[in-house]
Amino acid sequence: MFDLVDRLSKKQSSEVIEQQKITTVLFYQTSECQELVMEAYRFEGVVPPVTVKNSDEAIAEHVRQSDIEIVIVELNNSLNISQDAERISHLLPNHASVIIVGSEDAISTIRNLKSMGFYYVFWPVTKQELIDFVKNVYDNRQRNSHRGPGQKRRAKYITILGSKGGVGTSLITSEVAHQLSSVRKTSCLIVEQHFHGGNLDILLGIRKMEKRRIQKGSLSSSLDTASAKSMVYKHSNMLSILALTSEQLDSLSLLDYSNAVVEQLSEDVNFILEDLSASVGFAIEADKFVAQADVVVVVIEPTVSSVREAARLKERINKCNSNRALRLLTVFNHTLPLKLQSATKQDAETILKQAIDIEIPFCETINRTVLEDQRVVTSKLKAAEPLKNLSAMILGETINNTPSFFASLKQRLSRS
């Protein structure tokens, strides 16, 4: 009798452990959806999910635990499910399967969500239909199946490309990374392609970061996720840096190795930012990162040589690009005082045959601000707002580019 009770208690215990593997969080908009999801889980004997009222801040705060397997996001109150899903996509960890619940009955919505790596459940739904759907998603995860859209979404690749050395590429990379990781709460990996120099560590306020030295035999050894993770410097929970160097390997070999590390880590973060200058010593065409980038930010300074090189870079990027959805953003960074500038914003727009997206004004104290371990985006410098706007544009947000009265007056005076 006691043996039977003991075996039954062990069986119940094992079932509870099995149930706890479906670790779920629900971000709800309506009490109806919250109640149905909770009842569906209880009805099937599955541990109910953690439920949180849906907001961007709540999502950013609650989904970073590594043990979360399924995230359910209710968008029944959304006016455009695809747009809202795109807006919050950078807040969601790539390792979790995401189920969107909404009331848009359209093939285009399903297609758009699938392209983002999200599942879609049409509302209203019964308890049995919902829990069956959740269990199918969970079973796919357990089998490591590649069926369905939710298997390990890839990070967004952002290349920040300087038209020449000294145009502020690394500074812009560090400020955008801070804005995305600390303010927007998205996980980021910075890839420094200055293999034999660079000052990204100083710009990030890091005092004791050394580049990882790669030996010649490392290229032939197998690279897995664990070894790739050991290559990065973890600056914070949301921001890591990959910075390699070698006394035995040339830039192209290091570039290949860097790209291999990035490939291994691309499913662990939301954004990968490449800090790349046209002066680093290898052809843009050789960089696989640029070829698969989602956004390329070309940084230009107000000189004729920088503008002309930016136009050449634009042409080369278009030739090697295989991503039809690539966005090319331009930043006109005033690294020089007005009297030393040889090209205006209007000159750049004429030569590039496109509008400048972001203009960063000249700030005499910007270097001192950085050396004092302050972030430009949180300072009162005139460069702060344009850098915030650049981060917003990378996230796909719309910004108001209408210049102020004083900015317009300054532009007219500079042309006179």
What local confidence, expressed as pLDDT, does residue 332 receive?
A: 97
Contact 381, 366 (CB under 8 A): yes
CB 307 within 8 A of CB 348: yes
Q: Are residues 125 and 189 in the same domain?
A: no
Q: Give the confidence band of 325 by pLDDT, cuts at 50, 70, 90.
A: confident
288 or 96: which carries more pLDDT confidence? 96
Determine the 3-state secondary structure of 42 from DSSP. helix
| Interval 391-415 mean pLDDT | 65
Q: Minimum mean pLDDT among 69-83, 149-163, 356-370: which range?
A: 149-163
Please provide the size of the chain in residues: 416
Among 107, 142, 177, identify where a domain stops.
142
Helices (H), 266-383: 288-291, 304-320, 345-352, 366-371
Range of the domain at 258: 156-399
What pLDDT does residue 23 have?
A: 87
Is position 8 within any domain? Answer: no
In a shared domain, residues 196 and 135: no
Q: For residues 216 and 282, state if they share a domain.
A: yes
249-304 confidence digits (pLDDT tens): 888 888 888 888 998 999 889 999 999 876 665 566 666 777 778 899 999 999 99
Domain membership of residue 414 (yes or no) is no
pLDDT for residue 291:
74
pLDDT value at 308 more than 70: yes
The last residue of a domain, from among 94, 117, 142: 142
* Residue 349 belongs to some domain of the structure: yes
Least confident of 97-106, 280-289, 363-372: 280-289
Please indicate, yes or no, if residue 275 is contained in any of the structural domains: yes
Question: Domain check: are 260 and 309 in the same one?
Answer: yes
pLDDT tens digits, one per residue of 198-255: 888 889 988 888 899 988 776 656 688 888 899 999 999 999 999 999 988 888 888 8
Q: What band does 8 get if pLDDT is binned at 50, 70 and 90? A: very low
Question: CB of 214 within 8 A of CB of 249?
Answer: yes
CB 84 within 8 A of CB 27: no
C-alpha angle 394/397/399, rounded to 5°? 105
Query: Same structural domain for residues 42 and 131?
Result: yes
Q: Domain containing 50 — which CATH number?
A: 3.40.50.2300
Q: How far is CA 209 from CA 53, 194, 237, 240, 255, in A?
A: 40, 14, 16, 11, 20
Percent of the chain scoring above 90 in pLDDT: 51
**Residue 253 included in any domain:** yes
Q: Give the count of domains, the chain.
A: 2
For the CA atoms of 317, 320, 323, 326, the dihedral, rounded to the nearest 10 degrees, stands at 0
- Is residue 392 in a domain? yes
Same structural domain, 27 and 66: yes
138/95 same-domain check = yes
Tell me, yes or no, whether 415 lies in a domain: no
Specify whether 51 is located in the same domain as 134: yes
Buried b (16+ CB within 10 A) or exposed e, 250-276: ebebbbebbbebbbbbbebbbbbbbbb
Please report which confidence band the pLDDT of residue 190 belongs to, taking 50, 70 and 90 as the band edges.
very high
pLDDT of residue 19: 46
Q: What is the pLDDT of residue 282?
A: 57
Q: How many other C-beta atoms are found inside a 10 Å radius of the C-beta of residue 215?
A: 11
Give the mean pLDDT of 34-57: 92
Q: Which two tokens stand for residue 352?
A: 């590039």
Domain check: are 210 and 98 in the same one?
A: no
Q: pLDDT digits over 104-141, tens only?
A: 988 999 999 998 999 999 999 999 999 999 999 998 88
Q: Count of CB atoms within 10 A of residue 53's CB? A: 10
Q: Are residues 165 and 122 in the same domain?
A: no
In this structure, what CATH number is given to the domain that contains residue 335? 3.40.50.300
> Among 111, 142, 173, which residue terminates a domain?
142
The answer to whether residue 67 is domain-embedded is yes
pLDDT at 401: 61
Do 134 and 162 sit in the same domain of this protein? no
Query: Which one, of 132, 78, 86, lies nearest residue 102 by Cα?
Result: 78
Tokens (6 digits) for 206: 């890091």
Q: Please tell me whether residues 35 and 180 are part of one structural domain.
A: no
Q: Let me know: does 357 contact 329? Beta carbons within 8 Å.
A: yes
